[in-house]
């Protein structure tokens, strides 16, 4: 996993509840990313952050929020405004411009 820890591995929530997914890294990498994966689809970018206290929307940010208060942590909150929250969520990190991006093992969120 290259020093990326996503937790929990599985998460169940009732519809209408907010839920926060954890992504922690111990490689001192600058950039962190959140992607969403749905069956039969590629990964889609939700949010990304290149420095502490700064983050940018990706392609599908609606219904999600993030924070980057510490370099090693980039939590993702799936809010009740997200229409179809059930998915596999993947966090990625990158050391700097032009370097490789590495993914965590993912969190599978099921909303019932």
Partner 1 sequence: QQQVKQSPQSLIVQKGGISIINCAYENTAFDYFPWYQQFPGKGPALLIAIRPDVSEKKEGRFTISFNKSAKQFSLHIMDSQPGDSATYFCAGRRDSWGKLQFGAGTQVVVTP
Single residue of 22, 63, 65, 102 touching partner 1 by CB under 8 A: 102
Closest to partner 1 by CB, 22 vs 80, is: 22
Binding window for partner 1 (CB under 8 A); candidates: 15-23, 65-73, 74-82, 96-104: 96-104
How close are the terminal C-alpha atoms of the chain, in Å? 29
Check: CB of residue 60 under 8 Å from CB of residue 36: yes
Binding window for partner 1 (CB under 8 A); candidates: 16-24, 38-46, 69-77, 78-86: 38-46
Strand segments (E) across the chain: 4-7, 10-13, 19-25, 31-37, 43-51, 54-57, 64-66, 76-78, 87-94, 101-103, 107-111
Interface residue list for partner 1 (CB under 8 A): 1, 6, 31, 33, 35, 40-45, 48, 50, 58, 90, 92, 94, 97-106, 108
């Amino acid at each position: 996993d290259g020093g990326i820890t996503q937790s929990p591995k599985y998460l169940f929530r009732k519809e209408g509840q907010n839920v926060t997914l954890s992504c922690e890294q111990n490689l001192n990498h600058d950039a962190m990313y959140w992607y969403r994966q749905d069956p039969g689809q590629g990964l889609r970018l939700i949010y990304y952050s290149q420095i502490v206290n700064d983050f940018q929307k990706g392609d599908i940010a609606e219904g999600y929020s993030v924070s980057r208060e510490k370099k090693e942590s980039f939590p993702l909150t799936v809010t009740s405004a997200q229409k179809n929250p059930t998915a596999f969520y993947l966090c990625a990190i990158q050391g700097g411009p032009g370097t490789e991006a590495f993914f965590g093992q993912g969190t599978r969120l099921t909303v019932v």
